[in-house]
Structure 1
């Protein structure tokens, strides 16, 4: 099974659509590890693309911020698609699924508290990877492309760009 992994588009519709088109050609399953849009600007287009594609999706810190109390007024905007907002509201922050025989865990930030922590390849938390009950852990958040294998568990962060 070939997995396509995206994270941290932060509302860049053109880049997200391009990546989704490319992945649709090559991947059997697409995973979106959060921060599809920015907390200050909801993207109907990106959420619609995720929903229609059937990609597996988890919330990132930007989606959670947008859904929080500080953005109640923004969620009332007539430009916001109610269908796309409801889709995001019902999206989990953690996904556990079996794909191609692999137990996959996908979260946006850290799978260990504090969940919003930025992990890098040298983070000591990875030494505890066997506690997660997964063969593959997919993360976003850091904007650092990373692949690391720890005692049989592989961690990937496929986001790119600057930290926001």
Structure 2
């Protein structure tokens, strides 16, 4: 029988998107034991505690993301490479607001996340991390072939599944499968619906990216009513990063 595993990533405090993704997973009758979160449950969105509480309640195995780390450990930045003053302002606003609106108990919970884990399914070994084996702030885009080849050379597992860029893809490099699960709460590939990945392992390995509609305007309005930057609401509406 084929084995199905679900990967969700980069919820970023977007409870409406997360809620509808969970409903879709339940509709497909996939066990929560086979659901993995690849990090960044918090940051940019208005409901960090709601998202964390849901993850805890459902017992979803989660990996440490750069925003999880920054919020949980009270770090001054999210660790990403930021060049423009505008981007620095955005990350400072998102991080400081999220730290203020995440409970101490949930910060402690975030500190318990591992940076990466390896799981076994259908005879395959799968490395789960937020960004790359090198760092939880490393960006591995689909066209980064040189970087992927370097990772593949060191990768003991059959495949690696990650998030961080908010842009989903599947690509084979040197017989190693690279899967970016996309973003549940803050897609940046032009499709503003929540995105998650179902990996089916049988005689072949198939990665399906599932798009789930949710009340985007509700979450965007919550952002605009808060002290978070209005530009974060525009990201939800457009499915694109703002400059």
TM-score (norm 2): 0.58
1:12 to 11, 14, 18: 14
Match of 1:140 in 2: 163
- SS of the residue 1:126 aligns to: helix
1:62 to 38, 49, 67: 67
Please give the alpha-carbon distance, in whole angstroms, between the structure 2 residues aligned to 1:35 and 1:151. Answer: 29
Matched, 1:152 2:157: no
Please give the alpha-carbon distance, in whole angstroms, between the structure 1 residues aligned to 2:66 and 2:167. Answer: 16
Alpha carbons of 1:158 and 1:149: their partners in 2 closer, same or farther (altered >3 Å)? same
Match of 2:130 in 1: 108
- SS of the residue 1:2 aligns to: strand
Residue by residue, what CA displacement relative to the aligned partner does 1:75-100 show, whole Å, maximum 9, x if unpaired? Answer: 5x6x6444433221111111122233
User: Structure 1 stretches of 5 or more lacking a match?
Assistant: none
Please give the alpha-carbon distance, in whole angstroms, between the structure 2 residues aligned to 1:145 and 1:11. Answer: 19
Alpha carbons of 1:41 and 1:88: their partners in 2 closer, same or farther (altered >3 Å)? farther
Deviation of 1:145 after TM superposition, in Å, equals 0.9
The answer as to whether partners of 1:33 and 1:57 remain within 8 angstroms in 2 is yes
**RMSD of Structure 2 on Structure 1 (CA):** 2.6
Match of 1:120 in 2: 141
Residue by residue, what CA displacement relative to the aligned partner does 1:109-150 show, whole Å, maximum 9, x if unpaired? Answer: 1222x5412111121121131421112211111111111112
TM-score (norm 1): 0.82
**Greater CA radius of gyration, 1 or 2?**
2
Please give the alpha-carbon distance, in whole angstroms, between the structure 1 residues aligned to 2:178 and 2:15. Answer: 26
Please give the alpha-carbon distance, in whole angstroms, between the structure 2 residues aligned to 1:45 and 1:99. Answer: 30
Deviation of 1:151 after TM superposition, in Å, equals 3.0
Moved more, 95-104 or 134-143: 95-104
User: Structure 2 stretches of 5 or more lacking a match?
Assistant: 77-94, 189-240
The structure 1 segments of at least 4 consecutive aligned residues displaced by more than 6 Å after TM superposition are 39-42
